[in-house]
């Protein structure tokens, strides 16, 4: 959600702040602002809308200094306008705050402060933090103890960065929920809500835990617990290259990331499977056969696209383990009092590792004795730190808000996990070896698919761009891909779309079908292929416009489909990795045709760090 960056060092701070906010745009935002401390005290410039508006203001009113903070806001309390944009100040204008999250008790705190004479200028919950610090400093308290005391009064979830113009060179930041990371540089330190803004300056990163706060200047960063005890934590070395987050000639990050999927899938399985010995090995996840024998059920908890990956995971893991697998939305899981015990394996699936609802569900299960495993793309993220095992997806930074390569690498991770479970159960090594081989050639098949079908899909986008509704159909392992295809189209083109099991169509959605409704169906050769064909003939009988994603050379589909998108053949458990790519491209090119902001769709945030 909101993007945060704070800097103290020797560089001209505004280019650092704006450059960092650019790398946080993917989180979604509706306004932006910066604060710079210099010889004039603290100067704040804010603007509604995109960063370009803020940059235009800064061109008219240049700011200079080596100490400051920047913010992109995703509105929670108060309308998205310049007045509510961060940073926010106290009555004196010297205490400045930026914030991601929600201060749940801000109203009683605000009323209390108003009684003592504080004047509030915004509708936000954040402003109360600046006034609380000011109130404590009125009595002669220094900035640092005033912040510590303020933090103890706050309820809710927050990542806060706070500065005082009268104490230039010191940044205090605190985390309770949303992510906050610190980049340790030479003669400079940077605080941000994600790793991406830090990579141009350092790869030595400290991830803050909930309840911790830091005091930073240009020479050092001190980390403390909520009860003020020092924390000694070795920084993690981030292996991403900053260049990986650039567009590299592609028109949008999303298109670049679609094309990166062959590499990302390969990086997910490389070094983890050994065909000759038919063995799967995870550095950060180890079960013994005896430990595995204690697992009696599996719960998968995720949100959005990751939830769809979890649905595919259910098919793979039930077949591999012969254990019951449940898939839950993170936002629902902990509120239904799930039946969890020490025989439960909970798998949290989260691209960022900071998804609030998923983490809350994982915490609920852990409190009841479950063993936790995380499938995640970010090393050291919150979800990984609370888990006994981690499968990192190695997708690299994903900047486009609509997830693509993060999804296919999650599918790859589930496939590897299913083979690992078969290995633990002592199942036939020849079968495992064959499955590994099929995965090893998937990157090449992704490249082939993109080369052969992208132009064709771009033409289909031109044909169907004016449709107001879409229906996506799939059966078995492709039902989650129908859901994911519909989600992608909704997210970036703003067309209403629904995903359904093909066999359920006649139980309601068939009423929608007429000559104006495009139906995207996934119909590769699986045990239910003939049944899918029957379902699709029902669509054609009602004049629906039928777009079929099918195996290469499927002449049957060409007989009655309006359009076909052919994908290379692979074994059924791996088909979703290929079948989802045409739906990503279709959504991308339709959104492009409709003039939508592909990388930063309206109202959406990349990392949903509040409930």
> Is 318 in contact with 325 (CB distance < 8 Å)?
yes
- For 91, counting Cβ atoms within 10 Å of its Cβ (0-12 exposed, 13-18 middle, 19+ buried), the class is middle
Q: Which residue in the block uniquely carries the two structure tokens 């992109």?
A: 72
Question: Quick check: is 149 catalytic?
Answer: no
Tell which residue, 423, 413, 406, 328, has the closest CA to residue 373: 413
Q: How many CB atoms lie within 10 A of CB 469?
A: 14
Residue 487 CA to residue 479 CA, distance in Å, equals: 13
> Is 173 in contact with 158 (CB distance < 8 Å)?
no
Is the Cα dihedral 403, 409, 415, 418 positive or negative?
Answer: negative
Edge-to-edge strand list for the sheet holding 325-329? 325-329, 297-302, 344-350, 371-376, 389-392
For residue 566, give the 3-state DSSP assignment.
strand
Choice among 2, 303, 376, 550 that is catalytic:
2
Q: Which residue in the block uniquely carries the two structure tokens 């009555």?
A: 91
Q: How many CB atoms lie within 10 A of CB 64?
A: 13
Residue 44 CA to residue 46 CA, distance in Å, equals: 7
Cα distances (Å, whole numbers) of residue 542 to 315, 465, 515? 32, 21, 7
Tell which residue, 576, 378, 543, 588, has the closest CA to residue 477: 576
- CA angle, residues 165, 167, 168, in degrees to nearest 5: 70
DSSP string, 232-300: --PPEEP---GGGGS-TT-SSHHHHHHHTHHHHHHHHHTTTEETTTTEE-BTTB---HHHHHT--EEEE
Residue 488 CA to residue 493 CA, distance in Å, equals: 8
> Is 401 in contact with 599 (CB distance < 8 Å)?
yes
Residue 592 CA to residue 72 CA, distance in Å, equals: 25
The alpha helices in 104-142, defined as continuous H runs, are 106-115, 127-138
Tell which residue, 155, 150, 149, 203, has the closest CA to residue 181: 203
Choice among 136, 314, 371, 606 that is catalytic:
606
Q: Which residue in the block uniquely carries the two structure tokens 């100067």?
A: 43
Structure tokens at 346: 């909970």
Per the omega criterion (within 30 degrees of 0), is the bond before 608 cis?
no
Question: Quick check: is 371 catalytic?
Answer: no
Indicate the angle between helix axes 261-269 and 442-464, nearest 10 degrees. Answer: 150
DSSP string, 405-445: HHHHHHHHHHHHHHHHHHHHTT--HHHHHHHHHHHHTHHHH
Residue 256 CA to residue 592 CA, distance in Å, equals: 14
Main-chain phi, psi angles of 344, to 5 degrees = -100, 130
Q: Which residues form the catalytic set?
A: 2, 606
């Amino acid at each position: 959600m909101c993007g945060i960056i704070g800097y103290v060092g020797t560089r001209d701070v505004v280019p650092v702040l704006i450059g960092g906010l650019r790398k946080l745009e993917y989180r979604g935002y509706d306004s932006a602002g910066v604060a710079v401390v210099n010889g004039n005290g603290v100067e704040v410039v804010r603007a509604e809308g995109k960063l370009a508006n803020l940059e235009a203001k800064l061109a008219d009113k240049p700011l200079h200094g080596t100490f400051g903070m920047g913010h992109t806001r995703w509105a929670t309390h108060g309308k998205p306008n310049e007045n509510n944009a961060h940073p926010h100040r106290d009555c004196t204008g010297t205490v400045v705050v930026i914030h991601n999250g929600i201060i749940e008790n801000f109203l009683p705190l605000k009323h209390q402060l108003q009684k003592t004479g504080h004047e509030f200028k915004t509708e936000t919950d954040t402003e109360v933090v600046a006034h609380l610090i000011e109130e404590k400093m009125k009595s002669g308290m220094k900035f640092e103890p005033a912040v510590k005391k303020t933090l103890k009064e706050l309820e809710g979830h927050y990542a806060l960065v706070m500065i005082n113009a009268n104490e230039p060179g010191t940044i205090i930041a605190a985390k309770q929920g949303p992510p906050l990371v610190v980049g340790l540089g030479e003669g400079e330190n940077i605080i941000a809500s994600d790793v991406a803004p830090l990579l141009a300056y350092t790869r030595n990163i400290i991830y803050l835990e909930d309840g911790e706060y830091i005091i930073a200047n240009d020479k050092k960063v001190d980390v403390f617990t909520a009860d003020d005890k020092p924390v000694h934590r070795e920084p993690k070395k981030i292996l991403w290259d900053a260049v990986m987050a650039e567009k590299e000639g592609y028109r949008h990050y999303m298109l670049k990331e679609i094309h990166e999927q062959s590499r990302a899938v390969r990086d997910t399985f490389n070094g983890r499977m050994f065909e000759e010995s038919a063995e799967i090995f995870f550095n950060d996840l180890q079960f013994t056969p005896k430990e595995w024998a204690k697992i009696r059920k599996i719960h998968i908890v995720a949100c959005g696209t990751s939830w769809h990956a979890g649905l595919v995971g259910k098919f793979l893991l039930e077949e591999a383990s012969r254990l019951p697998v449940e898939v839950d939305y993170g936002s629902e899981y902990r509120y239904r009092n799930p039946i969890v015990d020490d025989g439960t394996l909970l798998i949290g699936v989260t691209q960022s590792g900071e998804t609030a609802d998923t983490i809350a569900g994982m915490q609920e299960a852990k409190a009841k004795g479950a063993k936790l495993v995380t499938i995640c793309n970010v090393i050291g993220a919150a979800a990984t730190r609370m888990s006994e095992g981690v499968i990192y997806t190695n997708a690299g930074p994903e900047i486009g808000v609509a997830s693509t390569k993060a999804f296919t690498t999650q599918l790859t991770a589930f496939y590897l996990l299913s083979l690992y479970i078969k290995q633990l159960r002592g199942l036939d090594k020849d079968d495992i070896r064959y499955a590994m081989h099929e995965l090893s050639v998937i990157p090449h098949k992704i490249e082939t698919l993109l080369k052969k079908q992208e132009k064709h899909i771009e033409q289909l986008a031109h044909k169907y761009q004016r449709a107001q509704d879409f229906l996506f159909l799939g059966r078995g392992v492709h039902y989650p891909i129908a859901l994911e295809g519909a989600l992608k189209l909704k997210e970036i083109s703003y067309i209403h779309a629904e995903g359904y099991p093909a066999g359920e169509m006649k139980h309601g959605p068939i009423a929608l079908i007429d000559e104006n409704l495009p139906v995207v169906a996934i119909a590769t050769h699986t045990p239910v292929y003939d049944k899918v064909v029957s379902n699709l003939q029902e669509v054609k009988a009602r004049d629906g416009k039928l777009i079929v994603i099918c195996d290469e050379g499927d002449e049957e589909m060409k007989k009655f489909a309006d359009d076909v998108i052919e994908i290379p053949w692979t074994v059924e458990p791996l088909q979703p990795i290929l079948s989802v790519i045409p739906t990503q491209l279709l959504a991308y090119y339709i959104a492009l045709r409709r003039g939508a902001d592909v990388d930063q769709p309206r109202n959406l945030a990349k990392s949903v760090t509040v409930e």
